[in-house]
Amino acid sequence: MDLMASLQDSIGQELAWQIPLYEQFHRHPELGLAEHETSAAAADNLVRSGFDVRRFGGTGVVGVLANGAGPCVLSLADMDALPVAEATGAPFASTVPGVMHACGHDLHVVALLGAARYLAGHRDGWRGTYVVLFQPAEETAAGSRAMLDDGLAAGIPRPDVALAQHVMPTEAGTIGTTPGPILSAGDSVRIIVHGRGAHGSMPHKSVDPVVLAASIVLRLQTVVSRETRPGEFAVLTIGSVNAGATANIIPDRAELLLNLRTYNMAVRSQMLAAIERIVRGECAAAGSPRQPEFEYYDQYPLTSNDPEANARGTAAFTTTFGADAVYRTAPQTASEDFSRIPDAFGAPYVYWVVGSVPRETYRQAVAAGTVDTDIPANHSPFFLPAVDPTLRVATQAQAAAALAYLGAGAS
């Protein structure tokens, strides 16, 4: 039985139960490592589809469906919401104050559940083992690590390939793929610099950390512009500077919060070294009484697609959706912790993007040159995928990518 050929029609029929479940998840968003209702609903759906359900990392859920000899495919969806107050006005908008699914993870969950139910109901058309993984806390880069620390690598079959996707503010009905880097590595850095406090009327008695922090901010602007090779991608953002609490007191410390994005690990190392060198140098120049402190957190690995796996997935998408719907995407500057899981198994992986903006809306914005201003991006309080066709396409994409491996073993 050729499941790939019947994928569009068969999965389109699943929307009758998928859309209400998606709206349920959207109304009741849960932050990272607290996805209790979402996790329970995913597990319940998997049990009813015949999967062997296992739990890792608190709210992480894995379903395993063995169907004879053949390859093992791992498909992943993230579950967590964001601390964002929703402003979409949707009839199924978040009922949790200050929390919403502003990144589409609710749709990711429902799409993977749809693919899981489809493959479970058509076991005569594929052979092997299908593993579906619902990961918590992607937004804080903690979820994949929590599952691995809880024994994931030893607790599930070793995958031959791993698959994941993300909805993006591009044209609905389209799939974007690329070999090599598709999402940047991400690092956040908390820096504390020390001064000597004094009365505001007696600055000569101080080492002013506010002036020190200002010098550091200006000097850090040269890391990308003067220390990174032209044409090499790098982003360095100083997102927060905090010092003092009142006008007439010179404080004794300042805090800076930085964020880096890179596609190349050598560039990443170079940037981190430059940041520490500049901060230490400015502190020495200011006469800081103590060495600065550095804390690295919310660190995301580079997501870099295996060329062969990407080619196989792209071919499956082209067969399913047509060549006009599949394009080569530029690498995205966002980050994701998905790759830690296949890396723990030494398995290749492919990660792709799914468009979520109604076709005419997107094309009009492209024609007007207003995509960046008129199309809400992920993490915006206005971000809301067009449920159809986005959910249908995302479900079909997960199933098609899995069948590119599992369907080859069917009799």
Integer Cα distance of 348 and 338 in angstroms: 12
Query: If the chain, 411 residues long, is cut into consecutive pieces of 10 residues, what is the mean pLDDT of each piece?
Result: 75 91 98 98 98 98 98 98 98 98 98 97 96 98 97 98 98 98 98 98 98 98 97 97 98 98 97 98 98 96 98 97 97 96 98 98 98 98 98 97 86 43
Predicted structure pTM score: 0.94
pLDDT at res. 10:
79
Question: How many C-beta neighbours within 10 Å does residue 2 have?
Answer: 10
Q: How many CB atoms lie within 10 A of CB 99?
A: 20
**What HEC string does the chain produce?**
CCHHHHHHHHHHCCHHHHHHHHHHHHHCCCCCCCCHHHHHHHHHHHHHCCCEEEEECCCEEEEEEEECCCCEEEEEEECCCECCCCCCCCCCCCCCCCCECCCCHHHHHHHHHHHHHHHHHCHHHCCEEEEEEEECCCCCCCHHHHHHHCCHHHHCCCCCEEEEEEEEEEECCCEEECCEEEECEEEEEEEEEECECEECCCHHHCECHHHHHHHHHHHHCHHHHHHCCCCCCEEEEEEEEECCCCCCEECCEEEEEEEEEECCHHHHHHHHHHHHHHHHHHHHHHCCCCCCEEEEEEEECCEEECHHHHHHHHHHHHHHHCHHHEEECCCECCCCCCCHHHHHHCCCEEEEEEEEECHHHHHHHHHHCCHHHHCCCCCCCCCCCCHHHHHHHHHHHHHHHHHHHHHHHCC
Would you state the pLDDT for residue 372? 96
Report pLDDT for 2: 75
Q: What is the pLDDT of residue 411?
A: 43
Give CA–CA dist 118/113, Å, rounded: 9
| Radius of gyration, CA atoms only, the chain | 24
255 token code pair: 């805090």
Cβ 164 vs Cβ 351: under 8 Å: yes
Q: What pLDDT does residue 409 have?
A: 58
Q: Which two tokens stand for residue 130?
A: 């299908």
Residue 47: phi and psi, rounded to 5, are: -60, -45
